[in-house]
Amino acid sequence: MKKQLVFIFTIFISSIIFSQSFYDLSIKSIEGDTINFDQFKGQYVLVVNVASRCGYTKQYADLETLYQTYDNLVVIGVPSNQFANQEPRSEAEILKFCTDKYNVSFPMTSKINVKGQYKHQLYAWLTEKNNNLVDDFKISWNFNKFLINPSGKLIGHFTSKVKPLNSKITSLIK
């Protein structure tokens, strides 16, 4: 029994030691540059998988309002075409759509996979407990939101139905 407890404790500690920090991650921007998440230390970060042909696409407006309202918040839009082919556009077309229709000024990433075997490392961190040290989360549709605090800890996951300006989100941003 004692050996089993030591083994379990060792596995637990090693998962904490070897887990990747949010700030170790990076992703390609929609313009082709690299977004290094370490530049967001000390800020809240709201990561949202987005699509331009979704019933929730109007949330872009609220995401932009949120981004403009809170000086200590960065919103990151992450296009994905994994839900009913609702983001078939090229990255240039996505950027034009977002800026023309919703005046989006927050950072946008390249189009990536947010679920499944080939999901991007950002979403592996956001959705897997062994990476984020909080819980496993399933992304079931576009406009799922993940809130990271200024210390790089995941503090919230919100489904598509939770609008960006909902107090469930805004109450966590201090």
pLDDT, one tens digit per residue, over 27-82 is 999 999 999 999 999 999 999 999 999 999 999 999 999 999 999 999 999 999 99
Q: Is residue 4 part of a domain?
A: no
Q: Is residue 44 part of a domain?
A: yes
SS (H, E, C) 93-139: HHHHHHHHHHCCCCCEECCCCCCCCCCCHHHHHHHCHHHHCCCCCCC
In the chain, % of residues over pLDDT 90 = 88
Higher confidence at residue 12 or residue 146? 146
Kindly report the pTM of this predicted structure.
0.89
Domain span including residue 62:
21-170
Taking 60 as the threshold, does the pLDDT of residue 107 lie above it?
Answer: yes
Mean pLDDT over each residue of the chain, to the nearest integer: 93
Contact 46, 144 (CB under 8 A): no
Please state, in angstroms and rounded to a whole number, the distance separating the CA atoms of residues 68 and 139.
Answer: 26
Upper half-sphere CA count for residue 112 (Cβ side, 13 Å)? 24
* SS3 state at 154: strand
Contact 152, 23 (CB under 8 A): yes
CATH assignment of the domain containing 123: 3.40.30.10
Which residue out of 35, 54, 63, 74 is catalytically annotated? 54
Q: Is residue 9 part of a domain?
A: no
In the chain, % of residues over pLDDT 70 = 89
Q: Is residue 2 part of a domain?
A: no
Please state, in angstroms and rounded to a whole number, the distance separating the CA atoms of residues 56 and 170.
Answer: 19
Could you give the number of structural domains in the chain? 1
**Is 98 annotated as catalytic?**
no
Average pLDDT over residues 80-105: 98
Q: Is residue 141 part of a domain?
A: yes
